[in-house]
Amino acid sequence: MAERPEAAGVDPATLSWAALRALVPAATSCRYLNLGTLAPGVAPLLAETDAGYRAWMESGPGLPLAYFGAKQAADVARAHLALSLHVGEDEIALLGNSSDAINVVACGIDWRPGDEVVITDEEHHAGLFPWLRLQQQGIVRVREVPLGTDVQRIVDAFDRAITPRTRVVAISHVTCHAGVNLPVGEIGRIARDRGAFLLLDGSQSAGHVPLDLPAFPWDAYAITGHKWLFGPVGTGALILRREHLERLPPSWVGSGSGDLRVENGTSRIDYHLSARRYEFGTRDWTKFVAWDAAMTFVERIGVERAFQRGLALGVRLHDQLSSVPGVEMISARDGSLATCLVAFRVAGWDAQPLMETLWHRWRIAVRAVPEKRGIRVTIAFFNDESDLEALVAAVAELAAAPAKAGAADR
Ligand SMILES: Cc1ncc(COP(=O)(O)O)c(C=O)c1O
């Protein structure tokens, strides 16, 4: 998949899990169980990211042709994504994050009266607000499908929610709150049969679960670089099937969206005939070169290998937490819905104080999930048994002593 086996001078395929852990400063300075929010820096990748920006700046970023050179260099990320996801380079827009990608779709569709958007009850604000905005403006009606941990019930719920009025189904591939690996094949087929556009938010899936885009239906796929793909903050992409390009005119435009044409005294934009039409304005393109190296790094570790390891650690974590009185698991323990994101609640504790207390007393970093009155743990390649044992011990202590009036214990 990757052209060069090494990323930033290191070939992770040759390293043990312990050696990989040693490359991640945050993995040793604390119990970093929150890759699902942001990937911690990997030392050699950070060095390469810094060096790329520095070289560009030091060379004089406005030298003749320098900016366009930097922009062209960013195409390594586009080529990399195209190759690894089996899509065309013309179907990829390099953006700042997945929120950008979702908004391209939400703002680009020519909405009709009566249109509905189907989402889940586990969307991150990035996958919720673009649709709520449209609903608040009276443009669409949003229908939320409740999830759980039963595959057939989830498919049945989508079967009921997706109707001929559904214009867009916009769901996470892997959800943010409980890490549900949604059956996107079945849901996609229902959406397609009923003529709905399927936008998948891949923020928690790309680089986490083995991804085979040609294997299931989708119309647009949003990716964030700064989670499981270890890219610099501010990298992401929209993958859009080329047949939709003309249906989704860019809503935000600027230098880079296309070419200026003046005909009979009238000016117009000829948008690029590719997803580059959604890229505009002055940006730090060196980040995308660094993202390419990061993706190589992740692939050399092996997405499938790290996923299977994380799942196995997750099963043990489930079993240990389930045996603590007062702990209730939210995520699936195993099976097709399970991922390396594990969520649970602790009786007597609200999400925020629980998250804060774990941090202040034990330097354990997790994410609060107030929507489920719980917390979410991410198990990544740099985490090990010692992180999970520390978490279980801390949770057992807190479960035995519920918070007073929800205040964080500092
Ligand atoms: C499912 C999902 N979508 C979107 C986001 C946010 O993505 P970004 O801020 O990079 O746009 C997150 C972040 O946690 C997420 O979990």
Ligand 1 centroid, distance to 289 Cα (angstroms): 21
Q: Contact 81/107 with Cβ under 8 angstroms?
A: no
Q: Given ligand 1 and candidates 172, 204, 366, which is best to mutate, with the most ligand atoms within 8 Å of its CB?
A: 204
CA of 397 to the centre of ligand 1 (A): 31
User: How far apart are the CA of 401 and the centre of ligand 1, in A?
Assistant: 33
Best residue for ligand 1 mutational test, from 97, 98, 371 (most atoms within 8 Å of Cβ): 98
Nearest CA to ligand 1 atom 10: 97
Ligand 1 centroid to 245 CA: how many Å?
24
Q: How much of the chain exceeds pLDDT 70, in percent?
A: 96
Give the C-alpha separation, 165 to 407, whole Å.
Answer: 45
For the stretch 176-227, pLDDT in tens is 999 999 999 999 999 999 999 999 999 999 999 999 999 999 999 999 999 9
Residue 160 has pLDDT above 90, yes or no: yes
Residue 312 tokens read as 């196995």
Distance between CA 391 and CA 358 in Å, rounded? 8
pLDDT at 186: 97
Q: Which of 124, 128, 235, 369 to mutate to test the pocket of ligand 1 (most atoms within 8 A of CB)?
A: 124
**18-28 residue pLDDT tens:** 999 999 999 99
**Which class is domain 302-399?**
alpha beta
Supply the pLDDT for residue 217.
95
Confidence of residue 370 (pLDDT cuts 50, 70, 90): very high
Token pair for residue 50? 């810094």
| Contact status, residue 335 vs residue 151, Cβ threshold 8 Å | yes
237-257 confidence digits (pLDDT tens): 999 999 999 999 999 999 999
pLDDT at 410: 41
- Which residues of the chain form CATH 3.40.640.10? 51-298
pLDDT bin (cut points 50, 70, 90) of residue 402 is confident
Q: Which regions of the chain carry the CATH code 3.90.1150.10?
A: 302-399
- Which ligand 1 atom lies nearest to the CA of residue 123? 1
Average pLDDT over residues 67-91: 96
**Probe target for ligand 1 pocket from 100, 203, 205, 230, with the most ligand atoms within 8 Å of CB:** 203
pLDDT of residue 9: 73
Q: How confident is the model at residue 193, as a pLDDT?
A: 96
Query: From the alpha carbon of 175, which atom of ligand 1 is closest?
Result: 1
Query: Which amino acids bring their CB within 6 angstroms of ligand 1?
Result: 37, 97-99, 124, 126-127, 172, 176, 201, 203-204, 224, 236
Nearest-atom index, ligand 1, CA of 126: 4
Is the pLDDT assigned to residue 157 strictly greater than 80?
A: yes
Q: Which residue has the CA at smallest separation from atom 14 of ligand 1?
A: 37
Going by pLDDT thresholds of 50, 70 and 90, the confidence category of residue 396 is: very high
pTM, to two decimals: 0.95
CA–centroid distance, 129 to ligand 1, in Å, is 12
- Ligand 1 centre from 74 Cα, in Å? 22
Spell out a b/e string for 87-114, using b for 16 or more CB atoms within 10 Å of the CB, else e: beebbbbbbbbbbbbbbbbbbbbebeee
Q: Which atom of ligand 1 is nearest to the CA of 98?
A: 11
Please state the rounded mean pLDDT for residues 288-303.
97
Residue 392 Cα, ligand 1 centroid: separation in angstroms?
A: 27
Q: For the residues 323-352, what does the mean pLDDT come to?
A: 97
Among the listed residues 215, 223, 165, the one whose alpha carbon sits nearest the alpha carbon of residue 189: 215
pLDDT at 7 over 70: no
- Per-chain mean pLDDT for the chain: 95
Model confidence at 406, pLDDT cuts 50, 70, 90, reads: very low
> Residue 8 has what pLDDT?
62
Which atom in ligand 1 lies closest to the alpha carbon of residue 37? Answer: 14
Distance 380 CA to ligand 1 centre (A): 17
pLDDT reported for residue 409: 44
Of residues 348, 346, 330, the one with CA closest to residue 394: 346
Instruction: Please give the distance, rounded to the nearest whole angstrom, from the Cα atom of residue 65 to the centre of ligand 1.
Output: 34
Sheet holding 374-378, edge to edge: 327-329, 341-346, 374-378, 367-369
Give the Å distances, CA to CA, from 205 to 173, 180, 208, 281: 6, 10, 5, 28
**The 3-state secondary structure of 45-96, one letter per residue:** HHHHHHHHHHHHHHHCCCCCCHHHHHHHHCHHHHHHHHHHHCCCHHHEEEEC
Query: Are 358 and 349 a contacting pair, CB within 8 Å?
Result: no
Considering the domain 51-298 in this protein, what is its CATH number?
3.40.640.10
The pLDDT confidence band at residue 6, using thresholds 50, 70 and 90, is low
Give start and end residues of each alpha helix (H) in 226-380: 286-301, 303-322, 351-362
pLDDT tens figures, 131-145: 999 999 999 999 999
Mean of the pLDDT values across residues 329-339? 96
- Distance from the alpha carbon of residue 226 to the mean position of ligand 1, in angstroms: 9
214 CA → ligand 1 middle, Å: 23
pLDDT at position 96 is 97
pLDDT level of residue 408 (50, 70, 90 thresholds): very low
194-203 per-position pLDDT tens digit:
999 999 999 9
Greater model confidence, 406 or 381: 381
How many Å lie between the centroid of ligand 1 and the Cα of residue 126? 6
Q: Pick the atom of ligand 1 nearest to 99's CA.
A: 11
